């Protein structure tokens, strides 16, 4: 069966430096794969390669079995992307932002669809008609998550998705991500939050200086052990 997301011997050079070096992994349908790494590990570059913004210097990335760079637009249409500290339009309300971005994606949503998404991300009703320039960072992130939900794509790419969220919102977000995966959505998230990754992911990959240096999978009925991953992460970073 074709994996919705696959990196095959992916290497990426930028300005003479190896950003990714022979990275291979795949993410199965309905799976949550978290790439863990410190600053400059190549996490965001991996996501941007799947989105077609960066072209591999060797290897390839595939979305639903098709090479991303053979048809970037097709790959993007299968992916909802939540960037780190997603900056939506401050001069527009949450409703207007979602309507605009959904229109960009070629989708239409009713007001009740939007409200339903806002309720899932726990964005207060009174805030939805306010301009985003008055929002906290967490509220903006919730709006962006609502957008990702409404895209209803088979694949979700999350870049530091809990950045700016309070602990309660992080727990709610993790529940939401798990629910999305249960409904068949394939999720690739990159983060440096070891605890969050272990709590939500089915598999965790350790990325260090562009290399995939370790991988941990959850046992049936159990989450990945945070201590083990943390120790491995710290050890690799210290090496």
Partner 1 sequence: MLRSLTRELRFLRRDRGALFWLALAFALSVIAVSFGIAEVREQRATIATLVEEDAADRANALSTQQDWGGAAYYAFHLTYEPPSDFAFAAVGQRDTAPWKHRIKMLALEGQIHEADTRNADFGLVGRFDFAFLTASLAPLLLILLLYDLRASERTARRHDLLVATVGSPRSLWLPRATLRVLGLAILLLIPLWVGAMIEGASPGVVLQASAIVIGALLVWWLIVELVSRIDASPSVLLTSLIGLWLALAIVVPAISKAAIEAANPVPDGGEILLLQRETVNDAWDLPKDDTMEPFVEQYPEWREDSVIDEGFEWKWYYAFQQVGDQTVAPLARQYREARLERDRDAGLVSLLSPTSFVERAFEKLARTDAMAMVAYEDRIRDFHEDLRRFHYALIFPKVEYDAARLEDLPQYDPSR
Binding site for partner 1 (CB under 8 A): 48, 51, 53, 72-74, 76-77, 79, 81, 83, 85-89, 91-92, 96, 100-101, 103-105, 144, 151
Least CB distance to partner 1 at residue 225 (A): 34
Least CB distance to partner 1 at residue 170 (A): 21
- Please, which residue, 70 or 74, has the CB nearer to partner 1? 74
Least CB distance to partner 1 at residue 160 (A): 12
Residue 50: closest CA among 36, 35, 62: 62
Least CB distance to partner 1 at residue 1 (A): 26
Least CB distance to partner 1 at residue 92 (A): 6
Distance CA 49, CA 72 (A): 10
Q: Are 24 and 30 in contact (CB under 8 A)?
A: no
- Please, which residue, 29 or 96, has the CB nearer to partner 1? 96
How is residue 101 written in tokens? 């971005």
Distance CA 145, CA 110 (A): 17
Q: Are 219 and 228 in contact (CB under 8 A)?
A: no
Least CB distance to partner 1 at residue 174 (A): 22
Exposure of 13 by Cβ count < 10 A (0-12 exposed, 13-18 middle, 19+ buried)? middle
Q: Give the gyration radius of the chain's Cα atoms.
A: 18
Place of tokens 């939007």: 114
Least CB distance to partner 1 at residue 29 (A): 21
- Please, which residue, 74 or 217, has the CB nearer to partner 1? 74
Beta bridge partners of 190: 35, 159
- Please, which residue, 173 or 233, has the CB nearer to partner 1? 173
- Please, which residue, 101 or 216, has the CB nearer to partner 1? 101
Q: Are 215 and 205 in contact (CB under 8 A)?
A: yes
- Please, which residue, 5 or 204, has the CB nearer to partner 1? 5
Q: Are 218 and 201 in contact (CB under 8 A)?
A: yes
Distance of CA 106 to the CA centre of its chain: 21
- Please, which residue, 73 or 239, has the CB nearer to partner 1? 73
């Amino acid at each position: 069966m074709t994996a919705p997301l696959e990196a095959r011997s992916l290497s990426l050079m930028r300005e003479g430096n190896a950003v990714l070096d022979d990275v291979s992994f795949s993410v199965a349908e309905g799976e949550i794969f978290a790439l863990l790494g410190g600053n400059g590990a190549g996490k965001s570059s991996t996501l941007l390669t799947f989105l077609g913004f960066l072209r591999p210097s060797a290897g390839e990335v595939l979305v639903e079995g098709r090479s991303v760079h053979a048809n970037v637009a097709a790959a993007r249409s299968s992916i909802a992307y939540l960037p780190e500290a997603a900056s939506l339009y401050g001069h527009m309300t949450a409703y207007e932002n979602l309507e605009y971005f959904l229109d960009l994606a070629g989708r239409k949503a009713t007001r009740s669809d939007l409200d339903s998404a806002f309720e899932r991300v726990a964005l207060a009703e009174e805030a939805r008609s306010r301009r985003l320039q008055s929002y906290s960072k967490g509220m903006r992130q919730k709006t962006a998550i609502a957008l990702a939900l409404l895209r209803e794509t088979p694949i979700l790419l999350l870049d530091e998705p809990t950045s700016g969220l309070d602990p309660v919102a992080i727990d709610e977000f993790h529940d939401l991500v798990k629910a999305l995966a249960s409904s068949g959505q394939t999720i690739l998230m990159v983060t440096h939050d070891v605890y969050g990754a272990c709590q939500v992911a089915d598999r965790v990959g350790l990325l260090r200086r562009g290399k995939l240096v370790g991988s941990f999978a959850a046992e049936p009925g159990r989450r990945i052990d945070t201590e083990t991953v943390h120790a491995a992460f710290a050890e690799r970073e210290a090496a």
